[in-house]
Structure 1
Amino acid sequence: MNLMLLYIDPGTGSMLFSILIGAATTLFFLSKAVWIKLKVLISGKKNGVIQDSSYKKYVIYCEDRRYWNVFLPVLQEFEKRETEITYYVSSAEDPVFSQNFKYVKPEVIGTGNSAYAKLNMMSAGILVCTTPGVNVYQWKRSKNVKHYCHIFHSTTDSSMYRLFGLDFFDSVLLTGDYSGEDIRTLEKQRGLPAKELVTVGCTYLDVLQKKIAEIPAEENHQYTVLVSPSWGKSALLSLYGERLLDPLIQTGFNIIIRPHPQSKISEAEMLDKLTERYKDKANVTWDYERDNIYSLKKADIMISDFSGIIFDYTFLCDKPVIYAASKMDLLPYDAYDIHGENYEGLWEMQTLKNCGILLEEKDFGRIKEVIQNASDSPELKQRRASAKAQAWQHIGEAGKRTADFMIETVQKLS
């Protein structure tokens, strides 16, 4: 007998192990669903939804702890109303476990197949999440969830999700009325039923506004430039790297480089090279903190690309933004079905052109002059205010409005 025939390489073994774990998890929740259905044969249904012991009226799913600020105002509102809500999280390290909530019930459901298996079999009145793509890949709509609701975690275009990102939600909570236009366009193109669109404001900006106001002013402040790009081949660090950073660091300004969180995963090699290149530069700081507010507060100006953090900085700090010229590939996104290859048709690009300062590669050699000439003006300040009024409505009210919507929706469906 040839023992080589029994060999499984590590990569294949890892893949098979993942499949087995996923299958076992799915089988567990599938068995639970079958058991529930058996009980229904005896006890029946109520209002078309299985009434089992796992049914929860209000559920929020937070796929990653970095979205904590999106949901915090909503959880606080339910706590204030003494109304129970279930909070599904991916990890026992989620910030919710450091709170002394009485009515918020956190539950760890893991990540990947484990989380999807739980979500696919759950029973609830309403589920609210920032995660797109329900009913597209592994995550399926459960027959026993009455209403699926998406809430935004940034003030950018609603069409900048991967294909079909919002198609199968029942409702979407908007930060501003502007983001509903693309949703309606895609519904008409794809023959989808109209979703309920409700403008509630921006929960996470409400949180950050309070936090940033509490940070004391820096003593002996030195002029600081914050480099905070998106990630991917079209983003600032991948596209320009040291060609921009070399002359920028030579200005002598304090430079904070805050890579996108996904860069640590998808572009680790590139970040390692840049970190090594500038390890001896005293005026360079790398920021990987979960909260961006400390760097935002410290910075006098931001250099970015098409990252949504531009609008965090603009709306919270009201300071000038320089954006580097880059071409975004819209093909993987819903936006392609609206704008084709014309990425400048995006709301965020139009807004950037209106209230930001364009930086082209030919100007990298005179970056210090560009920054010094980027002094604020009453006109730019007014344009930033107009963008803020459009994208961040109902300031300070998003948590209350979101809780109102969740409770009213379940009442209507009961």
Structure 2
Amino acid sequence: MILFYIDPGTGSMLFSIVIGLVTMLYFLGKAAFIKVKFILSGGKATTSKNHYPLVIYSESKRYWNVFKPVLDALERKAIPTVYYASSEDDPVFSVAYKHITSEFIGEGNKAFTRLNFLEADVCLMTTPGLDVYQLKRSRGVKHYAHILHSVDDATGYRLFGLDYFDSVLLSGEYQKAHIRLLETQRGIKEKELVVVGCPYLDELQKKVADLPKRKNESFTVLVAPSWGKSGILSRYGASLLDSLVQTGFSIIVRPHPQSKQSEKEILEALEMRYKAAQNLEWDYSNENLNVLSRSDIMISDFSGVIFDYAFLFNKPFLYVNSNFDARPYDAYDLEEQPWKFRVLPEIGVELQENDFGRIGQLILETSKSSILEEKRKNANATAWQYKGKSGEMVADFLVGVLAGLKESKDM
């Protein structure tokens, strides 16, 4: 018996090629069928029963806070919308919308296959990488819109993450410049860039107001890293956590959700190492607001949770990013440093490995800084525009795109 091994990267490329060919043949065949049907019907126009005006795709239930304010606004406007979910337990299925139809379409390649055959006027998603790998631009979709799911740089995605969208919805004006630079460098079509605010922060702000008041707990440090080789747990792991445990502070470690898949061995080794530590706990809850609220200061790296913490709670943080590897990201193609890394030294304190020996003192100094507190407020105003209005603004934009497409069709 001869066995063939295909590595994940090659498999992904083969899937992309096959799906591309299949979708092309599908739409060519459908176009021919519609043409024949048009002739046989005496020239009467027909429409596909599977064509939708507006589709929203959510690749995970953790993006519910991004889409809920938008769906609520669309519901109020009575705009028929189809919501495709890749989480079978997505919160959308427990909401009794009248104008929103929700459907579970599976995960990964199963979901991408469904989306690659999509027929819709407009499709909105948080998923980047359109027309790069498995997720292809469907010939049946007229307009693809991307909405950022954090107040981060728009160039923080993997290479070509936003290149082939028709529009990108931003949280602040500062995100526009670098997208335009990449478009010029790569010779690609300019996208429509619209500042709409940040739906998920608007939604979380409501929840923060309803959180129970914090009980008398000891001083608490939250470690909330991103994942990958540049993340805290992968880069420093025990050397950082050992120093934190020795401070006597209460320590909460909340790994990125992707770490449970991509860094499973690292997490298992660390959990075993600190199994007996009385002042260290692990948090894997779906939503992070409670643990953010419980802590007095946070340590992170290049994770967007930094801004959730600073903007929702105006609490201090330490960050580690001096050795961040930008090569896999769009930001690598830019000479100017991303906004995130320019603003971090102004609103937080960089933590370096040689600081681990005095980390307790550094934590206390950072937590008492009134200068950092004021600068966090200024950054908040820059990155999170139109507070409380983002859902309506996104809905208005989508309705405008639909109207424009209808108008061009009628001309």
Q: Distance in 2 between matches of 1:118 and 1:160?
A: 27
Q: What are the equivalent positions in structure 2 for 1:234-313 lying under 5 Å apart?
A: 234-313=230-309
Q: Distance in 2 between matches of 1:133 and 1:373?
A: 41
Tell me the equivalent position of 2:59: 63
1:103 equivalent to 2:95? Answer: no
Tell me the equivalent position of 1:38: 33
Q: Distance in 2 between matches of 1:157 and 1:28?
A: 33
Deviations 1:199-256 (A, max 9, x none): 0000111111111111111222221110001111111111111111112012111111
Aligned partner of residue 250 in structure 1, secondary structure: helix
CA contact (8 A) 1:33 1:121 kept: no
Tell me the equivalent position of 1:392: 384
Deviations 1:56-100 (A, max 9, x none): 111101111111111011111112222210001113221111112
User: By how many angstroms is 1:137 displaced?
Assistant: 1.5
Q: What are the equivalent positions in structure 2 for 1:8-19 lying under 5 Å apart?
A: 8=3
User: By how many angstroms is 1:30 displaced?
Assistant: 6.3
CA contact (8 A) 1:175 1:392 kept: yes
> Equivalent of 2:222, from 221, 226, 237?
226
User: By how many angstroms is 1:164 displaced?
Assistant: 1.1
Tell me the equivalent position of 2:196: 200
- TM-align CA RMSD: 2.6
User: By how many angstroms is 1:281 displaced?
Assistant: 1.4
Residues 50 and 394 of structure 1: CA distance in aligned 2, closer, same or farther (over 3 Å) = farther
* AA of the residue aligned to 1:62: S
Tell me the equivalent position of 1:408: 400
Tell me the equivalent position of 2:120: 124
> Any gaps of 5 or more consecutive residues in structure 2?
40-44, 407-411
* AA of the residue aligned to 1:41: V
* AA of the residue aligned to 1:353: P
Count of residues in correspondence between the two structures: 398
Task: Detail structure 1 runs of 4+ shifted over 4 Å in the superposition.
Answer: 22-33
Q: Distance in 1 between matches of 2:247 and 2:394?
A: 46
Tell me the equivalent position of 1:362: 354
Tell me the equivalent position of 2:180: 184
Q: Distance in 2 between matches of 1:68 and 1:140?
A: 23
* AA of the residue aligned to 2:163: D
Tell me the equivalent position of 2:140: 144
Tell me the equivalent position of 1:334: 330
> Equivalent of 1:351, from 340, 343, 349?
343
Q: Distance in 1 between matches of 2:187 and 2:361?
A: 52
Residues 29 and 276 of structure 1: CA distance in aligned 2, closer, same or farther (over 3 Å) = farther
Residues 407 and 105 of structure 1: CA distance in aligned 2, closer, same or farther (over 3 Å) = same
Percent of residue pairs bearing the same amino acid type: 48
1:216 equivalent to 2:208? Answer: no
> Any gaps of 5 or more consecutive residues in structure 1?
none
* AA of the residue aligned to 2:364: Q
Q: Distance in 2 between matches of 1:320 and 1:411?
A: 45
What TM-score, normalized by structure 2, do the two folds share? 0.90
CA contact (8 A) 1:29 1:121 kept: no
User: By how many angstroms is 1:376 displaced?
Assistant: 3.1
* AA of the residue aligned to 2:339: W
Deviations 1:21-78 (A, max 9, x none): x97999699668735651343238xxxx983111111110111111111101111111
User: By how many angstroms is 1:282 displaced?
Assistant: 1.9
* AA of the residue aligned to 2:33: L
